[in-house]
Amino acid sequence: MGLRHGTGAIATICADMADFPTPGQWRASGETFDHEGHKIFFRLDGAGPPLVLLHGFPTSSWDWHRVWPFLTAHFRVLATDFLGFGFSEKPRDHSYSLLAQTDLIGALTEHIGFRRFHLLAHDYGVSVAQELLARDLERRNADLPSVLRSVCFLNGGLFPESHRPRPIQRLLLSPVGPVLARLFNRRSFERSFSPIFGRDTQPSEIELDAYWELIEHLGGRYISHKLLRYMPERKRQRARWIRALQQAHCRLRLINGSADPVSGSHLAARYRELIAEADVVSLENIGHYPQIEAPQAVVDAFFAFLGVEPGAPR
Protein backbone atom coordinates (compact mmCIF):
# COMPACT_ATOMS: atom_id res chain seq x y z
CA MET A 1 0.00 0.00 0.00
CA GLY A 2 1.32 3.45 -0.80
CA LEU A 3 -0.18 6.92 -0.52
CA ARG A 4 1.27 10.27 -1.47
CA HIS A 5 0.48 13.79 -0.32
CA GLY A 6 1.62 16.79 -2.36
CA THR A 7 2.40 20.07 -0.66
CA GLY A 8 -0.72 21.60 -2.14
CA ALA A 9 -2.81 19.23 -0.02
CA ILE A 10 -0.97 20.04 3.19
CA ALA A 11 -2.61 22.57 5.49
CA THR A 12 -0.66 23.75 8.49
CA ILE A 13 -2.60 24.00 11.75
CA CYS A 14 -1.42 27.54 12.31
CA ALA A 15 1.45 29.64 10.99
CA ASP A 16 1.96 31.73 14.10
CA MET A 17 4.27 30.24 16.72
CA ALA A 18 2.57 32.41 19.33
CA ASP A 19 -0.37 30.02 19.17
CA PHE A 20 1.80 27.16 20.41
CA PRO A 21 3.29 26.54 23.83
CA THR A 22 6.82 27.69 24.51
CA PRO A 23 9.13 25.06 25.99
CA GLY A 24 8.53 26.67 29.39
CA GLN A 25 4.76 26.40 29.00
CA TRP A 26 5.14 22.81 27.81
CA ARG A 27 7.14 21.99 30.91
CA ALA A 28 4.61 23.68 33.21
CA SER A 29 1.88 21.39 31.84
CA GLY A 30 3.85 18.24 32.58
CA GLU A 31 5.17 16.33 35.56
CA THR A 32 8.08 14.09 36.49
CA PHE A 33 8.51 10.39 37.17
CA ASP A 34 11.41 8.83 39.06
CA HIS A 35 13.13 6.11 37.05
CA GLU A 36 16.18 4.44 38.55
CA GLY A 37 17.05 7.57 40.48
CA HIS A 38 16.54 9.99 37.59
CA LYS A 39 13.72 12.50 37.08
CA ILE A 40 11.93 11.90 33.79
CA PHE A 41 9.64 14.57 32.35
CA PHE A 42 6.33 13.60 30.75
CA ARG A 43 2.98 15.06 29.69
CA LEU A 44 -0.34 13.24 29.89
CA ASP A 45 -3.57 14.66 28.51
CA GLY A 46 -6.75 13.83 26.61
CA ALA A 47 -9.33 11.09 26.76
CA GLY A 48 -9.77 7.90 24.75
CA PRO A 49 -7.57 4.95 23.82
CA PRO A 50 -3.99 5.19 25.16
CA LEU A 51 -1.42 6.63 22.74
CA VAL A 52 2.33 6.94 23.43
CA LEU A 53 4.52 9.41 21.50
CA LEU A 54 8.28 8.82 21.18
CA HIS A 55 10.48 11.74 20.10
CA GLY A 56 13.76 11.93 18.21
CA PHE A 57 17.39 13.04 18.56
CA PRO A 58 18.44 15.65 19.63
CA THR A 59 15.10 17.14 20.56
CA SER A 60 12.27 16.27 22.98
CA SER A 61 8.56 15.72 23.54
CA TRP A 62 8.01 19.37 22.58
CA ASP A 63 8.32 18.09 18.99
CA TRP A 64 4.67 17.03 19.27
CA HIS A 65 3.24 20.43 20.18
CA ARG A 66 1.72 21.11 16.76
CA VAL A 67 -0.26 17.86 16.68
CA TRP A 68 -0.92 17.63 20.43
CA PRO A 69 -4.39 19.29 20.55
CA PHE A 70 -5.65 17.09 17.71
CA LEU A 71 -4.32 13.87 19.20
CA THR A 72 -5.59 14.63 22.71
CA ALA A 73 -9.07 15.25 21.29
CA HIS A 74 -9.27 11.52 20.49
CA PHE A 75 -6.70 9.75 22.66
CA ARG A 76 -5.25 9.65 26.15
CA VAL A 77 -1.80 10.83 25.09
CA LEU A 78 1.49 10.26 26.89
CA ALA A 79 4.67 11.98 25.71
CA THR A 80 7.95 11.83 27.58
CA ASP A 81 11.49 13.14 27.28
CA PHE A 82 13.92 10.24 27.15
CA LEU A 83 16.72 10.26 29.70
CA GLY A 84 19.31 12.75 28.44
CA PHE A 85 16.80 14.81 26.46
CA GLY A 86 14.59 17.87 26.95
CA PHE A 87 13.47 18.41 30.53
CA SER A 88 14.51 14.98 31.79
CA GLU A 89 17.75 14.58 33.71
CA LYS A 90 20.99 14.44 31.72
CA PRO A 91 23.63 12.62 33.77
CA ARG A 92 27.09 13.07 32.25
CA ASP A 93 28.51 9.79 33.55
CA HIS A 94 25.67 7.64 32.22
CA SER A 95 25.95 4.98 29.52
CA TYR A 96 22.96 5.73 27.29
CA SER A 97 21.29 2.95 25.31
CA LEU A 98 18.12 2.36 23.33
CA LEU A 99 17.39 -0.78 25.32
CA ALA A 100 17.50 1.18 28.57
CA GLN A 101 15.24 3.87 27.05
CA THR A 102 12.80 1.08 26.18
CA ASP A 103 12.90 -0.04 29.81
CA LEU A 104 12.06 3.55 30.77
CA ILE A 105 9.00 3.54 28.49
CA GLY A 106 7.89 0.24 29.99
CA ALA A 107 8.22 1.58 33.53
CA LEU A 108 6.43 4.83 32.71
CA THR A 109 3.50 3.20 30.90
CA GLU A 110 3.09 0.81 33.83
CA HIS A 111 3.19 3.77 36.23
CA ILE A 112 0.50 5.57 34.20
CA GLY A 113 -1.60 2.42 33.84
CA PHE A 114 -1.29 1.93 30.06
CA ARG A 115 -1.59 -1.83 29.57
CA ARG A 116 -2.06 -1.74 25.78
CA PHE A 117 -1.48 1.32 23.66
CA HIS A 118 -1.00 2.76 20.19
CA LEU A 119 2.46 4.08 19.38
CA LEU A 120 3.58 7.03 17.23
CA ALA A 121 7.37 7.27 16.96
CA HIS A 122 9.91 9.57 15.31
CA ASP A 123 13.67 9.30 14.64
CA TYR A 124 15.43 8.02 17.82
CA GLY A 125 12.00 6.93 19.08
CA VAL A 126 11.60 4.69 16.01
CA SER A 127 14.34 2.43 17.38
CA VAL A 128 12.66 2.26 20.79
CA ALA A 129 9.43 1.34 18.98
CA GLN A 130 11.27 -1.47 17.17
CA GLU A 131 12.58 -2.83 20.47
CA LEU A 132 9.04 -2.68 21.89
CA LEU A 133 7.87 -4.67 18.86
CA ALA A 134 10.65 -7.22 19.44
CA ARG A 135 9.64 -7.60 23.08
CA ASP A 136 6.00 -7.97 22.09
CA LEU A 137 7.00 -10.75 19.68
CA GLU A 138 8.74 -12.51 22.56
CA ARG A 139 5.64 -12.11 24.72
CA ARG A 140 3.44 -13.53 21.99
CA ASN A 141 5.77 -16.52 21.56
CA ALA A 142 5.52 -17.10 25.32
CA ASP A 143 1.69 -16.88 25.20
CA LEU A 144 1.73 -13.61 27.12
CA PRO A 145 -0.50 -10.61 26.29
CA SER A 146 0.90 -8.03 23.88
CA VAL A 147 1.36 -4.37 24.75
CA LEU A 148 1.16 -2.68 21.34
CA ARG A 149 -2.15 -2.09 19.55
CA SER A 150 -0.55 -0.42 16.51
CA VAL A 151 2.71 1.29 15.55
CA CYS A 152 3.04 4.31 13.26
CA PHE A 153 6.53 5.45 12.32
CA LEU A 154 7.63 8.88 11.16
CA ASN A 155 11.06 9.50 9.61
CA GLY A 156 13.74 7.51 11.40
CA GLY A 157 16.51 4.96 11.02
CA LEU A 158 14.50 1.77 10.73
CA PHE A 159 17.36 0.17 8.78
CA PRO A 160 21.00 1.10 9.46
CA GLU A 161 21.92 0.73 5.80
CA SER A 162 19.33 3.39 4.86
CA HIS A 163 20.29 5.88 7.55
CA ARG A 164 22.35 8.85 6.33
CA PRO A 165 23.62 10.67 9.43
CA ARG A 166 24.67 14.30 9.31
CA PRO A 167 28.42 15.05 9.22
CA ILE A 168 28.24 16.49 12.73
CA GLN A 169 26.83 13.19 14.00
CA ARG A 170 29.70 11.22 12.50
CA LEU A 171 32.19 13.61 14.08
CA LEU A 172 30.52 13.40 17.48
CA LEU A 173 30.87 9.61 17.32
CA SER A 174 34.57 9.88 16.50
CA PRO A 175 37.44 10.24 19.03
CA VAL A 176 37.07 14.04 18.85
CA GLY A 177 33.41 13.77 19.93
CA PRO A 178 33.85 14.84 23.59
CA VAL A 179 35.77 17.96 22.56
CA LEU A 180 33.38 18.80 19.75
CA ALA A 181 30.38 18.41 22.08
CA ARG A 182 31.76 21.14 24.34
CA LEU A 183 32.25 23.47 21.35
CA PHE A 184 28.79 22.85 19.90
CA ASN A 185 26.64 26.01 20.07
CA ARG A 186 23.42 27.58 18.78
CA ARG A 187 25.02 28.61 15.47
CA SER A 188 26.50 25.19 14.69
CA PHE A 189 23.23 23.59 15.73
CA GLU A 190 21.32 25.67 13.17
CA ARG A 191 23.82 24.83 10.42
CA SER A 192 23.33 21.09 10.94
CA PHE A 193 19.64 21.08 11.87
CA SER A 194 17.91 23.35 9.34
CA PRO A 195 19.05 21.37 6.23
CA ILE A 196 17.09 18.29 7.30
CA PHE A 197 13.82 20.22 6.91
CA GLY A 198 12.06 20.70 3.58
CA ARG A 199 12.98 23.68 1.43
CA ASP A 200 9.64 25.42 2.06
CA THR A 201 9.17 24.25 5.68
CA GLN A 202 12.32 25.58 7.33
CA PRO A 203 12.23 26.22 11.10
CA SER A 204 11.94 29.85 12.16
CA GLU A 205 14.46 31.58 14.41
CA ILE A 206 11.96 31.32 17.26
CA GLU A 207 11.66 27.58 16.75
CA LEU A 208 15.42 27.12 16.51
CA ASP A 209 15.85 29.07 19.75
CA ALA A 210 13.29 26.79 21.41
CA TYR A 211 15.00 23.62 20.20
CA TRP A 212 18.37 24.90 21.39
CA GLU A 213 16.90 25.87 24.78
CA LEU A 214 15.72 22.28 25.24
CA ILE A 215 19.08 20.83 24.17
CA GLU A 216 21.00 23.21 26.45
CA HIS A 217 18.80 22.54 29.49
CA LEU A 218 20.91 20.88 32.22
CA GLY A 219 23.96 21.00 29.94
CA GLY A 220 22.61 18.65 27.29
CA ARG A 221 25.22 19.63 24.69
CA TYR A 222 27.93 17.98 26.81
CA ILE A 223 26.41 14.51 26.42
CA SER A 224 25.45 14.65 22.74
CA HIS A 225 28.33 12.34 21.76
CA LYS A 226 27.12 9.79 24.33
CA LEU A 227 23.51 9.93 23.13
CA LEU A 228 24.69 9.22 19.58
CA ARG A 229 25.84 5.76 20.56
CA TYR A 230 22.38 4.70 19.40
CA MET A 231 23.77 4.59 15.85
CA PRO A 232 26.11 1.60 16.37
CA GLU A 233 23.48 0.08 18.66
CA ARG A 234 21.04 0.06 15.75
CA LYS A 235 23.54 -1.97 13.73
CA ARG A 236 23.93 -4.52 16.53
CA GLN A 237 20.15 -4.93 16.84
CA ARG A 238 19.39 -4.88 13.09
CA ALA A 239 18.44 -8.56 12.65
CA ARG A 240 16.30 -8.65 15.78
CA TRP A 241 14.47 -5.45 14.91
CA ILE A 242 13.82 -6.31 11.26
CA ARG A 243 12.46 -9.68 12.32
CA ALA A 244 10.13 -7.87 14.72
CA LEU A 245 8.88 -5.65 11.87
CA GLN A 246 8.39 -8.58 9.52
CA GLN A 247 6.55 -10.65 12.12
CA ALA A 248 4.61 -7.83 13.78
CA HIS A 249 1.31 -8.91 15.28
CA CYS A 250 -0.17 -5.39 15.05
CA ARG A 251 -0.73 -2.99 12.18
CA LEU A 252 2.17 -0.81 11.03
CA ARG A 253 2.31 2.38 8.98
CA LEU A 254 5.19 4.59 7.88
CA ILE A 255 4.50 8.31 7.33
CA ASN A 256 7.56 9.59 5.53
CA GLY A 257 8.75 13.09 4.68
CA SER A 258 10.25 12.30 1.29
CA ALA A 259 12.64 15.29 1.13
CA ASP A 260 14.50 14.28 4.29
CA PRO A 261 18.22 13.73 3.49
CA VAL A 262 18.60 11.48 6.57
CA SER A 263 15.69 9.04 6.25
CA GLY A 264 13.45 10.25 3.44
CA SER A 265 12.33 8.58 0.21
CA HIS A 266 15.33 6.22 0.23
CA LEU A 267 14.20 4.88 3.63
CA ALA A 268 10.62 4.45 2.37
CA ALA A 269 11.93 2.49 -0.64
CA ARG A 270 13.91 0.17 1.63
CA TYR A 271 10.86 -0.27 3.87
CA ARG A 272 8.85 -1.42 0.87
CA GLU A 273 11.58 -3.91 -0.05
CA LEU A 274 11.75 -5.52 3.38
CA ILE A 275 8.18 -5.32 4.71
CA ALA A 276 5.44 -7.31 2.99
CA GLU A 277 2.37 -5.26 1.99
CA ALA A 278 4.10 -2.16 3.32
CA ASP A 279 1.75 0.65 4.34
CA VAL A 280 3.55 3.90 3.44
CA VAL A 281 2.29 7.47 3.24
CA SER A 282 4.78 9.76 1.48
CA LEU A 283 4.68 13.52 2.15
CA GLU A 284 6.27 15.26 -0.81
CA ASN A 285 8.66 18.16 -0.18
CA ILE A 286 8.59 17.51 3.57
CA GLY A 287 11.76 16.83 5.52
CA HIS A 288 12.79 15.00 8.67
CA TYR A 289 10.18 16.49 11.05
CA PRO A 290 6.77 15.83 9.43
CA GLN A 291 4.89 16.51 12.67
CA ILE A 292 6.37 20.03 12.68
CA GLU A 293 6.51 20.71 8.95
CA ALA A 294 3.15 19.21 7.89
CA PRO A 295 1.17 18.63 11.10
CA GLN A 296 -2.24 18.41 9.46
CA ALA A 297 -1.03 15.86 6.92
CA VAL A 298 0.44 13.75 9.72
CA VAL A 299 -2.78 13.95 11.74
CA ASP A 300 -4.86 13.02 8.68
CA ALA A 301 -2.64 10.05 7.81
CA PHE A 302 -2.48 8.84 11.40
CA PHE A 303 -6.24 9.11 11.94
CA ALA A 304 -6.92 7.33 8.65
CA PHE A 305 -4.56 4.54 9.74
CA LEU A 306 -6.57 3.98 12.94
CA GLY A 307 -9.98 4.72 11.45
CA VAL A 308 -10.52 7.82 13.57
CA GLU A 309 -13.01 10.42 12.36
CA PRO A 310 -11.11 13.74 12.38
CA GLY A 311 -12.60 16.64 14.23
CA ALA A 312 -11.66 19.99 15.70
CA PRO A 313 -9.37 19.91 18.72
CA ARG A 314 -11.06 20.43 22.05
Give domain limits for the chain: 2-306
Instruction: Say what the pLDDT of residue 2 is.
Output: 52
Least confident of 8-12, 126-130, 227-231, 235-239: 8-12
pLDDT one-digit tens code per residue, 58-93: 999 999 999 999 999 999 999 999 999 999 999 999
Instruction: Say what the pLDDT of residue 5 is.
Output: 52
What is the C-alpha to C-alpha distance for residues 96 and 61, in angstroms, rounded to an integer?
Answer: 18
Mean pLDDT over residues 286-291, rounded? 98
What is the C-alpha to C-alpha distance for residues 281 and 114, in angstroms, rounded to an integer?
Answer: 28
pTM: 0.92
Contact (Cβ atoms closer than 8 angstroms) between residue 129 and residue 99: no
Q: Is the pLDDT assigned to residue 266 strictly greater than 80?
A: yes
Instruction: Say what the pLDDT of residue 16 is.
Output: 41
CATH superfamily of 2-306: Alpha/Beta hydrolase fold, catalytic domain (3.40.50.1820)
Instruction: Say what the pLDDT of residue 4 is.
Output: 55
Contact (Cβ atoms closer than 8 angstroms) between residue 155 and residue 257: yes
Task: Provide CB contacts within 8 A for 107, sequence distance 6+.
Answer: 33, 35
- Residue 10: pLDDT band (50, 70, 90) is very low
Instruction: Say what the pLDDT of residue 3 is.
Output: 56
In our burial notation (b when 16+ CB lie closer than 10 A, e otherwise), range 281-306 reads bbbbbbbbbbbbbbbbbbbbbbbebb
Q: Is the pLDDT assigned to residue 171 strictly greater than 80?
A: no
Mean pLDDT, all residues of the chain? 91
pLDDT one-digit tens code per residue, 114-130: 999 999 999 999 999 99
